[in-house]
Amino acid sequence: MAYKCLNDCVSDLEKNGMLIRIKEEVDPYLEMSAIHQMVFKNHHKAVLFENIKGSKFRSLSNIFGTLEQSRFIFRKNLKPVKGLVSIKGDPSKAIKNPFAYLSSLLTAPFALPLKKWNDKFEEIQITDIPQIQCWPMDGGPFVTLPQVFSEDVDKPGILNSNLGMYRIQLNGNDYQENKEIGLHYQIHRGIGVHQSKANKKGQPLKVSIFVGGPPSHSLAAVMPLPEGMSELTFAGIMGGRNFRFRRKNGYVLSTDADFVICGEIYPNETKPEGPFGDHLGYYSLVHDFPVMKVDKVYAKKDAIWPFTVVGRPPQEDSQFGALIHEITDGIIPTEIPGLKAVNAVDEAGVHPLLLAIGSERYTPYNPSRRPQEILTIANHILGKGQLSLAKYLFIVAREDNPDLDVQNEFDFFHHVFERVDWSRDLHFQTKTTMDTLDYSSTGEINEGSKVVCSVAGEVKRSLCESLDDCTFDESLQKPNLLMPGVLIVEGDDISQVKDSLMKSDLKGIAFITLVDDSEFVAKHIENWLWVTFTRSNPAEDIFGLNEKIENKHWSCDIPVVDARVKEHHAPGLYMPEEVIEKAKGIIKRALNEK
């Protein structure tokens, strides 16, 4: 159905048993975050907070808490939008089979934004908004589901705009209360281009932050759209309702939004922003980011403040990712020749780890079956938008196993470790870009390294199925087997660990991770994915048994990834036990009221 506002969505979810109401007073400091996380994990419903300490407004979380719930919200337009994105990637599909895409073409009337002169906003202040702080060390309350709108100063116009989801700090640090807020955006973001152009002209960039409104607007702000498709167009088509807006005092206002914050970013004006508990499962630390001078803040009379919590995956944003994958499945392969599938692994924090399947088509006569075309594909992947932030890219040839599923991490790595040639298949890039939120490198912010592991050819080894197949040196600490061929060990010194491993019989071991707690990491592949790939920077933390450099190419017999916590790493995220216990009681009472 087409929601005119967030209230419509709340009513629809509740009518269909997908909503929990929290009527008793809750503290926006940690309590709402703890409740959200428990409901996400255990109850899989949206949560409406009706009585928030310090604010007259209600709040809604876990809107996209499951893929099934997202499919329900967008049940009318999900299929047509998938078809539309598919056509955008390959227009010939519509020509070859027009009737199959008829429902997609019928969404066209919702594509263009509509001007609406009347709105029902009242002026408020930043401090009137629910001041939700999700983690104990956060620098203050943040907006976690914003839609940040900016226009190209060289080409102004609603369809030349950018709508993105960037982190907004409402209070704390050195921000002047009700007058300044922090705007944190990462590299490769559209608003950065707009600000750079405004800076060159020596003029402030006008920014509008929309919060709430139809759920399609939030989805549009995070959607990796095909080149040339506006986020506002996508919001209208996905929601079955044109994006409605008006201009007021030089700012664009989304008239369907629940809240709008208007302000300006001045050239070269920054302030410390953070810390903030982030999607890698650690805090992003304090850094200087643009400060936004607040001009006006608006709210609807019955406004609902939507929020989410980010932390170690899976979280609600993981389900965002699942929905995006469902909509865009197949679009990236059409943009990168030879690429068949790619998985930005959620358990590893999305950006750190990519798994990909490519094709080795050009040299079928080559008896050596070594990686060739997939290396070209790998370079293309690492030059593609947000995929360029990856640290680790494992890519395999589809011809070696046409049935391999890139979404099945266990089977994928089993395939890799059976076939990889560590003397040939690792390719490093050093001193290059890294995710702003990643602190595994000792370099500057946004600086780190990447490694491509390209695998093609026949099975080269039989992987170890049990530790009984190996003989370990007595000095090796707490060896555990995660999966066939993957060894987890502990140790205080990498050189000593390598010496112990060299003295061991490692028959069938293909990959080793050095960690602080081998039992925790070996307990489940999700723990291994998270620890190994978030806590390491390839060029600094990959070592090897019998490692050597030949013609500037690094190789080894077996790689050892040092994924221990280090001094330069950001701290992990933990919720105080007393907050957890209080949240449990609130949820229990809310469920009993029903």
Q: How far apart are alpha carbons 123 and 130 in whole angstroms?
A: 15
SS3 state at 451: strand
Q: Cα angle at 150 between 149 and 151, to 5 degrees?
A: 135
Q: What is the largest CA-CA distance in the chain?
A: 77
pLDDT of residue 100: 45
581-584 long-range contacts (CB < 8 A, ≥24 apart) are 582/31, 582/34, 583/31, 583/34, 583/35, 583/38, 584/38
Give the total residue count for the chain: 594
* CB neighbours of residue 589 within 10 Å: 12
Q: Specify the DSSP class assigned to residue 389.
A: G
Q: How far apart are alpha carbons 124 and 28 in whole angstroms?
A: 19
Take residue 547 and report the two structure tokens written for it: 């490692």
pLDDT < 50 positions in the chain: 91-92, 94-103
pLDDT of residue 350: 86
Closest CA to 287 of 130, 139, 148: 139
SS3 state at 6: helix
pLDDT of residue 42: 94
pLDDT of residue 188: 52
Closest CA to 128 of 340, 330, 296: 296
SS3 state at 29: strand
**Which residues does residue 336 pair with via DSSP β-bridges, in sequence order?**
none
Residue 449 contacts residue 537 (beta carbons within 8 Å): yes
pLDDT of residue 450: 96
Helix (H) or strand (E) holding 232: helix 231-239
SS3 state at 230: coil
pLDDT of residue 408: 96
Q: How far apart are alpha carbons 92 and 366 in whole angstroms?
A: 34
pLDDT of residue 89: 53
Q: How far apart are alpha carbons 309 and 148 in whole angstroms?
A: 18
pLDDT of residue 404: 97
pLDDT of residue 96: 45
Take residue 251 and report the two structure tokens written for it: 């700012």
**Torsion region of 228: left, alpha or beta (phi above 0 gives left; psi -120 to 50 gives alpha):** left
Cis status, amide bond into 130, omega within 30 of 0: no
pLDDT digits (tens, 9 = 90+) for 92-148: 454 444 444 444 555 677 888 899 877 789 999 999 999 999 999 999 999 999 999
Q: If you search the block for the tokens 């410390």, which residue do you land on?
A: 272
Take residue 190 and report the two structure tokens written for it: 């559209």
User: Counting Cβ atoms within 10 Å, is residue 376 exposed (0-12), middle (13-18) or buried (19+)?
Assistant: middle
